[in-house]
A and B are shown apart, each in its own frame.
Chain A
Amino acid sequence: MRTCAPSAAAIRVTTFMLAMSVTHPVLAVPQPPATVSVIQIKKVELSESLLYPARVVPKVNSVILAETDGVISKIQSPLGQSVSSGARILTISHTDPVYQFAPFRVNSPISGVVSSLEVTEGTQVSKGQRLGAVTDPKKVRFNIEIPASDLAYVSRGMKGVFQIAGRDEVVPVVIRGVSPFVDPATGTASGELEPDGKSALVSPGLVGQVSFKANLHQGFSIPEHAIIYKGDATFVRLVKDGKTLLTPVKLGRRQRGTFEITGGLEVGMSVIERASRYIADGDAVQVSTGS
């Protein structure tokens, strides 16, 4: 069956023709207003974020060398053992008859953990040979390489955080020093950081990322996709009294999908982030509350 009954159709045709003959342009059918999602503008703390890969290195690390020729007769503190300063790590038996094969005790110079052992019992060692190392895992520092272009922003005493990708915990760090020398091979200058405070739950040898906040200030920030470009000029759309208003803005630094707005916005303004369709200046819009 046709959905259109003949009588209804006839009326339709008649009204249609009447409309045609009386008013030429068809009355524009009112469309529902576009829905938009908005951001309320407020001052937030902004900064430039400087990111560098950082390597965790022990702050206290003692390499143990053999002080005499001999054979390792016993290892008292195996790898991973916590040792206090002066505790015995291993014993070397002299092979030189001069010493009558007397045992020679090797003690830890520092408190820490045996972090490497390069010998086993029975190994013959010679004077000056590297035997292992004792490291204090609680005392670490971080090495970073700062590109020359960033050197102006980074200075001693600057605070930041260290994080390992995929882990939640962050370690506050502070810059202890920056080398004034730029390595021509890498274009970077080395910097050294320390944990800011006591806790440092990171082990030496890891690589993570250090981020610093430079140039801390108050300002406005909006997502990149809320910016409207017209040639070189940049704008945002505000919602004012339920209608849109195109407003020029000055863009500042761009960072992680947002732009700092350095001019054109005031606290309390509503900036349109996304719209269900293109909207013209002055159009009525409906602000969506959902996600």
Chain B
Amino acid sequence: MKKLYASPLRVYLALALLALIGLFSASKLPVSLFPNSSKPKVGIWVNYGSLTAQEFLTTYGMDLEEKIRTLDVSGAEVEQVTATYHSSSANIETTFKWGADPQTSLREVRNIAEPFSARMPDEVRKTLSVDAMGENAGFFALSFYSRERSLDELYDLLEPLLGPKIARVKDASDPELWNPTRKEVRIELDPGKMALLGLFPKDIERAIGQAMTGSNGGSITVGVNNFSVQMPRAAGDLEGLGKALVLTPSGQYIHLSDIAKIDFGVKTSNSKSFKTSGAPSLILYGSPRPGGNVKRMSEDFLKIVNEIRPSLPRDVETRTIVDPSEFIRASVNNVFHEVLIGALLAVAVLFIFIGSLRNVITAAIEIPLSMVLAFILMRMTGMNLNLISLGGLALSAGMNVDASVVVMENIFRHFEGRKMPLSYAAKLEIITKAVAEVRFSVIASTLASLVVFLPLAFTSDLSYAVLGDLAKTVVFSHGFSAFVAIILVPTVRLQLMSLKGGEKPVHSPVEPQIKKLENGVASALGVFLARPKLRIALYGGIVASLVLLVVFALPKLPKEIIGTPDTDWMRVSINTQGNTLVKQMELSEDEVESRLLAKFGDRISYTFSQVYNPNGGFIMARLRDKRDMKTLKPEFEKFFANTPAIKYGVGSWNPAELPIPDPDPLKIAVRGGTLKERAQITQEITQQIEASQIFSRAHSEPNSERSESIVLKPNYEQWTQLRRSSSGNLSPEDLAELARVVSTGRRLGEIELKGRMTSIYLRYPDGTLKSPDDLASLPIGVGSKIIPFKALADVRVEEVSPTIYREDGRELFTIHGNGNDDEKSRIPESLKRAKILVDDYVRKNKTTVSVTVEDALKDLNVALEQLGWAIGLSILLIFLTLVIQFGSFANAALVLVAIPLGFIGVITSLLVFRSTLSLNSVLGVILLNGIAVANSIILVDFTKRLFDQGMTPEAAAVEAVRRRLRPILITSLTTILGMLPIALGLGDGGKILQPLGIAVSGGLWVSMTLTLFVVPALQVAYLRRFGKREVAVAETFSAGAQAAGAPHFEFPEGLIRDHLTSEGRTPEQVLQ
């Protein structure tokens, strides 16, 4: 060590090198919103055609579910298997536990499902597919526009450049450059002519297929030339397509154009549509594939756009509309800024109390250095830079200074009273000795404060998945802080000592004010101790508010697993009924958008709207100011009240990466009885929940509402007589195919037109089918007759059997309820009302079906409960340590009083700042306990010592507060101010860590203030009654007692004691 301190260059170089590696690691750390944790979900999809849902379920489904449920592979444990059996298809979803490997999970399910499918009929097996499922809400959108080009021209320019590149973006599913004026080839069949000629869609398909294929006529070699003989396909263009030869049942060829209108027009098929700020433009759109990383996908798209930008003409402009990567980076940067601001505030506190800039810097250098060094370990362990790991850095920033301050203080103390100036060798000797004294304790105390995170390892997967990164970063960075304190601080100190004026003791710039505060608080305590009524009132107030808060306020706190970052995107979803075309929905959405802009236009920067089916779409509005979100959301919710025709949903938009469960607060399970009974009861209760406004939105899973479908039943008796022509007979499938082309149309592949691939759609004229009656009377040519469709097959509207839904092998329906933001505070009450409603329903209807209100927030509640145990465990550990340290249960108990005082602060500030009971706020409580207890230890220990030295209990308490106020303030204020930016959500910072910040800073503030009065008062009462002076103990405090008895109580001595005693070590151990 001595050698090390004597060669500062080596130390600086080594640390600089480490810092460089750290910075390099930081720059290479992947940035994401949430930790690199996963909870994979794998889906199996299968279409069972002719089997009924029940048949498929009993024959195959049950076995398959069972096989997956009992899957036993380490690294991929199954949490739940749910299965939904619709009328003709099923999907089985396997949810794995937190931390399961996505690849293994997918492979394991595949390994079961694929061999299993060999048992199924061929037609069913072919439809089976297994894939990872994503719950990603993010998507990327970027618009291209030009003043000089039409959208088609722009598309022709961009598509060849972009198309192949975006297709290679791994994380995206079906990315596209969407052209609102994109055209398609539409072959619109004339129903009359089709019937007259006795044609069916299959005849047209065959004709087009033939027209699209060319033939090879071999080759001829003439001299050195080899000529291949080709017959190019007939349908090279639209005209050629019209000339496609259709063979009629009478054996005659006719042209396709004779029976169909062939159009090259703007796409009208029912796909999606986008608009930005109401204007159509070319849009590069991509959403992540299941399991894909939305940030990486967006960055890839941006990179591609930037790559091709130089080759684009000047008039082509781009605008990023929705970019989750920007959002994620901004959120992470915000939190990073908050961490930095917090660290600066902590440094400012240090300066106020220490006074010398040099010393402050020596102590504070530790903050960035240990952060940067932590990045190295983060990179080595494959972590990423996310809101949670940054939270860990924020937490450790305040704690990290302590080690440096301890080392510095001990060095100061060793120089105290020595005659200056000293030789370099003497100084080196003293510093080495000083560091050696505290080296073990600094390392031990650092280790001890890291052990606090141990209970986290025993909590649920969810807590660990969410908070694990936080614990790891604290361990890394705080671990480094001890290292830095022992190596760097003495080296710097030694050099500073050699500088001019480096040897003088320095005082705080606000020394008189601090003195005044010390005296003020001490005399206030004196007054407090002298008035029993005041004391009783305070005790009573504390107990009453604690009881009230725990019994009434705590359960009312809204619960969440973890907050979401702020966003400036508002999303309004729009759902209608009865539309059949995307165009209709576009009109409705345009109207909604103009209303939105008329009302909120001045606060919206631009909008992005999407229609994804004829009855569903959404408008995303980017707010000019993020801070408007809070006020605008309720306004939006009010403005977009459901109307009979349109149902709205309002929410803020956030591209989530981590499948953090966000369940609806109400879950009711309906089990037993027959499927129909269950469906009916589910439907009624769902409606009653919404009707009684217990929750303003209720739905069931699966949908329990009566649903119908059109059923075609061929009249088979008559088909034996049916002859279409000599060339081939009709089959019932032809009827289904006809119905399909008439209703939804059929895509027949692609044709290259003008160098661009264009889809070909076969369809009937719009409006051919307006109701099932139209299908029944659709003309069909059989022989020389034109007969209605219903002559061959009955067309009936029938009720469809309800969907079967199973969770872990049990059939049930679930009902879910949720409401607007303003209903959140009523959730516990609403749950009670829901329970009463269910009980009433069951009683009134005397049903045998079991209807139970279940714990919708089970994951969260389990996690919170476990964290609750972790709190209990940490308190117990603190207590045991205190008992060992003080050798007295009473003193240990006195110290613990600070903890409930902290609870008052935590619950009150969570309530006042409308924060939530979340994993973060509970973690805040664990941290708070340690810090709060430290304040109380300082007081109890010091009072006891003064008492042992012969002071009266009152005088001892008042004196202790006067002398110990400064260290209490310094530790508490660095922590409170370090956390303040996070607690306030300064700037437009992320809300994700806010509960933690609020819990720690709010709790510590209240705890610190109350501790200054309550703990001394209780101790005085205890000492009066049971107090015996333990002179012997006081004597053993040799070094410590000496310092304690010193007339001028300089702050650093205090700090070391506070710090070390709070870590569970006695002063003797420390100072040996």
Q: Which residues of A contact B (CB under 8 A)?
A: 2-4, 6, 9-10, 12-13, 16-17, 20-21, 25-26, 28-29, 31-32, 35-37, 49, 51-55, 143, 145, 147, 164-166, 183-188, 190, 205-209, 225, 229-231, 254-257, 273-280, 283, 288, 290-291
**When chains A and B are docked, how far (Å) is the Cα of A12 from the Cα of B630?**
19
Chain B residues within an 8 Å CB radius of A276: 641-644, 647
Chain A residues within an 8 Å CB radius of B698: 278
Asked whether A207 and B191 contact (CB < 8 A) given A20-B552, A52-B788, A53-B787, the answer is yes
Chain A residues within an 8 Å CB radius of B787: 53, 145, 147, 186-188
**Contacts across chains A and B counted by CB atoms under 8 Å:** 169
Q: Are B829 and A26 in contact (CB under 8 A)?
A: yes
Chain B residues within an 8 Å CB radius of A277: 642, 690-691, 696
B773 interface contact, C-beta 8 A: yes
B888 interface contact, C-beta 8 A: no
Stretch in B803-811, B873-881, B909-917 with 4+ CB within 8 Å of A: B909-917
Q: How distant is A89 from chain B, measured CB to nearest CB, in Å?
A: 27
B767 interface contact, C-beta 8 A: yes
Asked whether A280 and B192 contact (CB < 8 A) given A4-B912, A49-B773, the answer is no
Instruction: Name the contact of A186 in the complex, choosing from B630, B642, B686, B785 (C-beta under 8 A).
Output: B785
Q: How distant is A84 from chain B, measured CB to nearest CB, in Å?
A: 30
**When chains A and B are docked, how far (Å) is the Cα of A194 from the Cα of B578?**
38
**When chains A and B are docked, how far (Å) is the Cα of A273 from the Cα of B645?**
10
Instruction: Name the contact of B196 in the complex, choosing from A3, A207, A275 (C-beta under 8 A).
Output: A207
Q: Which of B662-707 contact A (CB under 8 A)?
A: 676, 680, 684, 686-688, 690-693, 696, 698, 706
27 residue pairs from A and B, CB less than 8 Å apart: A2-B984, A16-B553, A16-B911, A20-B548, A20-B552, A25-B833, A32-B641, A35-B644, A53-B788, A55-B195, A165-B191, A185-B782, A185-B783, A187-B715, A187-B792, A207-B192, A209-B779, A225-B577, A229-B706, A230-B680, A273-B644, A274-B644, A275-B644, A276-B647, A278-B687, A280-B687, A280-B691
Q: Are B771 and A256 in contact (CB under 8 A)?
A: yes
Q: Are A207 and B644 in contact (CB under 8 A)?
A: no
**When chains A and B are docked, how far (Å) is the Cα of A280 from the Cα of B722?**
54
Q: Give the bracket for the number of chain B residues in contact with chain A.
A: 35 or more
Q: Which of B106-134 contact A (CB under 8 A)?
A: none
Chain A residues within an 8 Å CB radius of B192: 164-165, 206-208
Q: Are B722 and A186 in contact (CB under 8 A)?
A: yes
B786 interface contact, C-beta 8 A: yes
**Closest chain A residue to B718 by CB distance?**
A187
Q: Are B779 and A9 in contact (CB under 8 A)?
A: no
Q: How distant is B987 from chain A, measured CB to nearest CB, in Å?
A: 12
Chain A residues within an 8 Å CB radius of B776: 51
Q: Are A25 and B786 in contact (CB under 8 A)?
A: no
Q: Are A254 and B797 in contact (CB under 8 A)?
A: yes
Chain B residues within an 8 Å CB radius of A280: 687-688, 691-692
Chain A residues within an 8 Å CB radius of B644: 35-37, 273-276, 288
Instruction: Name the contact of A35 in the complex, choosing from B191, B643, B686, B693 (C-beta under 8 A).
Output: B643
**Closest chain B residue to A231 by CB distance?**
B680
Chain A residues within an 8 Å CB radius of B688: 278, 280
Asked whether A51 and B691 contact (CB < 8 A) given A36-B644, A257-B771, the answer is no
**When chains A and B are docked, how far (Å) is the Cα of A273 from the Cα of B643?**
12
**When chains A and B are docked, how far (Å) is the Cα of A268 from the Cα of B577?**
27
Q: Are B791 and A186 in contact (CB under 8 A)?
A: yes
**When chains A and B are docked, how far (Å) is the Cα of A49 from the Cα of B552?**
65
Chain B residues within an 8 Å CB radius of A147: 787-788, 790-791
Q: Are B912 and A9 in contact (CB under 8 A)?
A: yes
Chain A residues within an 8 Å CB radius of B687: 278, 280
Instruction: Name the contact of A55 in the complex, choosing from B783, B786, B913 (C-beta under 8 A).
Output: B786
**When chains A and B are docked, how far (Å) is the Cα of A52 from the Cα of B790?**
9
Chain B residues within an 8 Å CB radius of A184: 718, 721
Chain A residues within an 8 Å CB radius of B552: 17, 20-21
Asked whether A188 and B785 contact (CB < 8 A) given A20-B552, A206-B192, the answer is yes
**When chains A and B are docked, how far (Å) is the Cα of A190 from the Cα of B908?**
86
Chain A residues within an 8 Å CB radius of B780: 53
**When chains A and B are docked, how far (Å) is the Cα of A276 from the Cα of B575?**
12
Asked whether A188 and B791 contact (CB < 8 A) given A6-B912, A21-B552, A145-B786, the answer is yes
Chain B residues within an 8 Å CB radius of A28: 693, 833
Chain A residues within an 8 Å CB radius of B642: 35, 276-277
Q: Are B771 and A278 in contact (CB under 8 A)?
A: no
**When chains A and B are docked, how far (Å) is the Cα of A44 from the Cα of B643?**
28
Known pairs A28-B833, A165-B765 / 15 extra A-B pairs, C-beta < 8 Å: A2-B984, A25-B833, A28-B693, A51-B776, A53-B195, A143-B786, A145-B791, A147-B791, A165-B768, A166-B767, A185-B718, A230-B684, A231-B676, A256-B771, A277-B690
Q: Are A283 and B791 in contact (CB under 8 A)?
A: no
Q: How distant is B763 from chain A, measured CB to nearest CB, in Å?
A: 13
Q: Are A31 and B693 in contact (CB under 8 A)?
A: yes
Which 6 A-B pairs have CB atoms at the shortest separation, nearest pair first?
A207-B192, A53-B779, A51-B777, A280-B691, A274-B644, A276-B642
**Closest chain A residue to B698 by CB distance?**
A278
Q: How distant is B1040 from chain A, measured CB to nearest CB, in Å?
A: 41
Interface string of B812-842 (1 = CB under 8 A from A): 0000000000110010010011000000000
Chain B residues within an 8 Å CB radius of A230: 680, 684
Chain A residues within an 8 Å CB radius of B791: 145, 147, 186-188
Q: Are B690 and A278 in contact (CB under 8 A)?
A: yes
Chain B residues within an 8 Å CB radius of A21: 548, 552
